[in-house]
Structure 1
Amino acid sequence: MSHAVTSGSSGGGSFSSKQRTVLISLIVDFILWIPDIIAAILSGSIVLFADAIKCANEILATFFAYLTIRKMAKGGAGAYDYGMGKFETVTSIVTGGVMFISLALVFFVALYRIAVPAEIVQEGAYLGIFLMIIGVTMNSWLWRKNFRLFQKEPSPIMDSQWRLFRTKAFSDFAVLVSLIASLGFSHYAWSLYIDPLASFIIAGFLLFSGYRVITSSLPDLLDKTLDEELQMVIVRHLADFFEDYSALHGVRSRRSGNNVYIEIFLEFDGEKRMCEVQESINRIKMALEENIPRSSVSIVPTSVPMSSGQAKTVTESNGVHR
């Protein structure tokens, strides 16, 4: 459920469509959440209570996504030269932390209901069934809508959104089955345990989502270098321009949201004129940016090896030597 932000290079139309899609998701979430709470109170169902807690987390996450897109749509040039990927990452980690707190709450309430079983109230359960049918339908529709938008213009925030609604659709279906089973087998004593045991499924969704959000956000927050596949793209293109420079002193890279920033430190022949060096820089930069989507490449002429051992290792481990 992570919520990333698109780069500042995206056009106004792109921000507008994403902002509208996320706002629709937020409104639908909130409209369904209020009766979900009412159904949980009327029925005394732990699984409906767990679902309401989960929905609150999802509303929080979607709200953060909406705020992030709005902030990006206003632009941050001059104040945020590298985009606002860190802002997105921090909000994602906060959301993941709230998920784990909710997970603990759901877990202990479910354990209590197992220790002290109680029947669910049928009228409230019927309302819950009705809401879950609506939830499965709406979340499946939003899942497909966000996925199509993600395919049209990939970005971390739309990737997290379609995955969020896919999880919500499966989660609501699990709640629906649980409520139907609790009512259908209510004449059996063991049916009292269906509801609290099913709430562990919701807890599982919270655990998976929270873990995924935090583990996917931390590498970007710590400026982790690009994965090996993109490093190999850089290496192959540097090999193509082997005659244009005399030494490679290092490569440094990181992500900010869905932007990729790459710095390449090259040494050029001292006999070359600056205009010739600049022509080589432009060719290398253009080739890399064409093959690495949403990348910004900086070629730094230098005769001094980089002091960062990590940056040297990146290039040397891929077999680039002069």
Structure 2
Amino acid sequence: MSGEEIKQETDAAEESRHDLVLTGLCIDLLILIPETAAVILSGSATLFADVIKCANEVLATFFALLIIRRVTLGGKFTYDYGMGKFESLTRIITGGVMFVSLCILLFFTFHRLIEPERFDMDAAIIGIPLMVLASIADSYHWKKNYRLAQKEPTPIMEAQWRLRRAKTFSDVLILLALVLSVLLVQYSWAEYIDPVVSVLIIGFLLLAGYREINASLPDLFDKTLEEELQFVILRELAGSFDKYYEFHGVRSRRSGSRIYIEIFLGFDPEQKVGEVQDFIDSLKRSLEALIPGSVVSIIPTSEKDPRSAA
């Protein structure tokens, strides 16, 4: 495959991601507007919790779209290591917003648990058909994003299909709560269905916020590769120990879907440059095949601790 064909294929994949994420964002906004109106009319704790959650998801999807658009339009020579840190930073901001929203929801929900209100049918009239449509749309986008993430794995698409999966379960949960509230409206204890389900949605929000921050901090601070990938590198080096003179260390980091690995090796001064280059090329190809998404650099050096000079 020629370089031009690879570029066209990459551009097509980025365009596909862009279109899919943009469609998801538009659907979220179309659902968010009438759902907000339903909250204003009914004061439903469940719908209010979902509006807050949906607003955070719109924010996360917008950031994902921004990153994809930036990568699609270019800037590869401006950001040599891609947009990985920007992606990590935006995920942390999103997680922070989720925790702020969580505080607002906790106050509102516990107030409803202490002073429950009779279920308002306006919530059911608007909410039930809305949640049916949302469930269908989110389950469809869950499957589409998952298939694309399997075909062209990136952190953004991984986050998107997980987001859509969580939204689908949340939509079904809210739909069930609204239906039960209508069917059991004659019972006094049915007043607690609405705030109890909103507590479950708070749980979704708490877990999502924790995952966003927990998954992003290691990459933002350039955490080294996982131990199993370190073993892959060391195993390859051990199998070629007669091709180099000294091993001075490995430095690695992630940037979005890419893994950057630098290996510092010392070579015999009497060794021919061509032989050294052949070994470097061979080791680079082998490691990049074993570690998907990796970019390996073999650096000849005589430094005992090259990391201390970085």
- State the TM bucket, normalised to the shorter chain: over 0.9
Q: Which residue of 2 aligns with 1:209?
A: 208
Specify the code of the residue in structure 2 equivalent to 1:236. Answer: R
Q: Which residue of 2 aligns with 1:280?
A: 279
CA displacement 1:72-95 (0-9 Å, x = unmatched): 112223221111100101111000
Structure 1 residues 264-275: aligned runs within 5 Å: 264-275=263-274
Instruction: Specify which structure has the higher proportion of helix.
Output: 2
CA displacement 1:7-61 (0-9 Å, x = unmatched): x998211110100110011011111111111122222211011111111111111
Report the TM-score when normalising by structure 2: 0.94
Given that 1:43 and 1:125 are in contact with CA atoms closer than 8 Å, whether structure 2 keeps it comes out as no
Highest relative contact order (Cα 8 Å, sep 6+), 1 or 2? 1
CA displacement 1:90-139 (0-9 Å, x = unmatched): 11100001111111111110011112211122133221111111111111
Q: Give SS of 1:11's match.
A: helix
CA–CA separation in structure 2 for the residues paired with 1:197 and 1:287:
54
Given that 2:249 and 2:306 are in contact with CA atoms closer than 8 Å, whether structure 1 keeps it comes out as no
Q: Which residue of 2 aligns with 1:12?
A: 11
Q: Give SS of 1:80's match.
A: coil
Deviation for aligned residue 1:245: 0.3
Q: Which residue of 2 aligns with 1:39?
A: 38
Q: Give SS of 2:233's match.
A: helix
Rate the CA distance shift 1:40–1:65 in 2: closer, same or farther, 3 A: same
Given that 1:249 and 1:267 are in contact with CA atoms closer than 8 Å, whether structure 2 keeps it comes out as yes
Q: Which residue of 1 aligns with 2:300?
A: 301
Deviation for aligned residue 1:247: 1.2
Tell me how large the CA RMSD over aligned residues is.
1.7
CA–CA separation in structure 2 for the residues paired with 1:124 and 1:189:
18
Structure 1 gap ranges (5+): 1-7, 312-322
Q: Does residue 147 of structure 1 match 2:139?
A: no
Deviation for aligned residue 1:275: 2.0
Q: Which residue of 1 aligns with 2:121?
A: 122
Q: Among the aligned pairs, what percent are the same residue?
A: 52
Deviates more, 1:36-45 or 1:250-259: 36-45
Specify the code of the residue in structure 1 equivalent to 2:293. Answer: R
Structure 1 stretches of 4+ with a deviation exceeding 6 A read none
Specify the code of the residue in structure 1 equivalent to 2:218. Answer: P
CA–CA separation in structure 2 for the residues paired with 1:241 and 1:10:
35
Q: Which residue of 2 aligns with 1:262?
A: 261
Given that 1:44 and 1:120 are in contact with CA atoms closer than 8 Å, whether structure 2 keeps it comes out as no
CA–CA separation in structure 2 for the residues paired with 1:219 and 1:292:
19
CA–CA separation in structure 2 for the residues paired with 1:298 and 1:278:
12
Structure 1 residues 182-193: aligned runs within 5 Å: 182-193=181-192
Structure 2 gap ranges (5+): 1-6
Deviation for aligned residue 1:307: 5.3
Report the TM-score when normalising by structure 1: 0.91
CA–CA separation in structure 1 for the residues paired with 2:297 and 2:307:
17
Q: How many residues align?
A: 303
Deviation for aligned residue 1:308: 4.2
